[in-house]
Amino acid sequence: MLGAVTERRQRGFVALFALEAACRALVMTVVPLRAYALVADAQIVSLIYVGVTILGLMVSLTAPMLMHVVRRRGMMSLGGLLYVSTAVLFATDTVWSVIAGLAAQTAATTILEVTINLYLLDHVPRRQLSSFEPRRMLFSGMVFIVGPWLGVYLNQSVKENLTFALVALTALGFIGVFWLLRLTENPAVTSPLKAAPRPVRYLPRFARQPRLMLAWVLAVGRNGWWVMFFIYAPIYVTQAGYSEQVSGALVSLGVLPMVMVRYWGRLGQRIGIRRLLNRGYAMEGALTVAAGLMAGLPAAAMVLLWSAAFMGTVIDSAGNTPFLRSVHPHERPEMMSVFATYRHGASLAIPALFAAILTFAPLNFVFIAGGTVSLSMAWLARKLPKRF
């Protein structure tokens, strides 16, 4: 009976992660291309992403205090409603509405990243996390396989702004599924008698734990590569003279190997997460650098980018396992809120770095720089505990 309850809960969490991923995947290619069409400058697009990420960073650090007031259930509903607002803002089709939509999307992603993972830690035993993460990544990955291309196709070939309407419906579905699951909260970390956590207290504590810091940096590197791929690969493809649907197809095909994530997860359990990440980052970095060097031959560069994305899915099979296996149970809410900033760290650092590069170099140097970052992550992965 207990095993059946655990399995139902795991399926419920998979559904939540997949629906949340769909809210992002459907607009993943549409929004950068729309922003690029409005401003006609890849560097300005980079700066837009830097600006909205600062908001997401602030939301992530204040999430525990907000959660102390509205509770996790309120946070889950708030995150879903923010995704609904992104659909309305993106459909307005002005520079400022796109910026506001990206800000709302960043806040929604941050809130749900923290809250869903806290529910996950309360309801899925720690020893089952290594097997759950590949399962979660598989279903979320399937969403990202279809979403980037489907979003462009619906918006261009079926009806303009249909993509955004689908995002709004998906967000409402997310809220409905969450309330049907009737998830409970751990009273040890949600008691009204417990003082609201403050960032000035838990930021230094996080920084003093080397394993948490290493897990955070590796997550920044993992997410940062996908930030580069999702924003700059479509721009590169359109600059090379291909249609926006080809851009969306490249992004979707790049995520296609995610269907194999459970096999990579089993490989990680056999050879260790440490070795899996080291090899994955190294291959991803080398292939991305090669794509940058071959940018003059668009077909070859796209194949190399796809191959690098293939290795990115190998890395993703580990998910957040290094963090989840390192965090102390009594510090989960505080440490999770800090760890969740990896997404914003990547979304802030990577576009900022590339905006600087684009002031004096063409777009292909973005891929060379991104590949170099992945190679540095391969070196850092060697510092994970051998038991990982």
- For 341-384, how does the pLDDT look when each residue is reduced to its tens digit (9 = 90+)? 787 777 777 877 888 888 888 888 999 999 999 999 999 888 87
Long-range contacts of 354-359 (CB under 8 A, 24+ apart): 354/46, 354/228, 354/232, 355/43, 355/46, 355/47, 355/50, 358/42, 358/43, 358/46, 359/43
Instruction: With cut-offs at 50, 70 and 90, classify the pLDDT of residue 98.
Output: confident
For the chain, percent of residues with pLDDT exceeding 70: 84
C-alpha distances out from residue 318 to 5, 44, 170, 262, 372, Å: 25, 33, 27, 10, 21
pLDDT, greater one: 137 or 16: 16
Spatial contact of 178 and 56, defined as CB atoms under 8 Å apart: no
Quote the pLDDT of residue 125.
63
Average pLDDT value for residue range 95-99: 87
> In one letter, which amino acid is 25?
A
User: Which region among 128-132, 237-241, 275-279, 332-336 has the lowest average model confidence (pLDDT)?
Assistant: 128-132
Categorize the per-residue pLDDT at 245 as very low, low, confident or very high, splitting at 50, 70 and 90. Answer: confident
Amino acid at 191: S
Q: Is residue 124 within 8 Å of residue 17, measured between CB atoms?
A: no
- pLDDT above 90 covers a percentage of the chain that reads 18
In a 13 Å sphere around the CA of 343, the CA atoms on its Cβ side amount to 23
Query: What is the mean pLDDT of the segment spanning 115-119?
Result: 81
Alpha carbon distance 369, 354 (integer Å): 8
More confident residue, 113 or 16: 16
| pLDDT class of 100 with cuts at 50, 70, 90 | confident
Report the chain's terminal Cα–Cα distance, integer Å: 31
State residue 341's pLDDT score.
75
- 28-76 pLDDT, tens digit per residue, is 888 888 888 887 777 787 788 777 777 766 766 676 667 667 777 888 8
Q: Which of the listed ranges 181-195, 201-215, 326-340 does the model predict with the highest average pLDDT?
A: 201-215
| Domains, in order of start, for the chain | 2-183+199-381 (1.20.1250.20)
Give pLDDT, residue 11.
77
Residue in this structure with the two tokens 């191959």, named with its chain if needed = 307
Whole-number pLDDT of residue 188: 45
- Write down the pLDDT at residue 388: 64
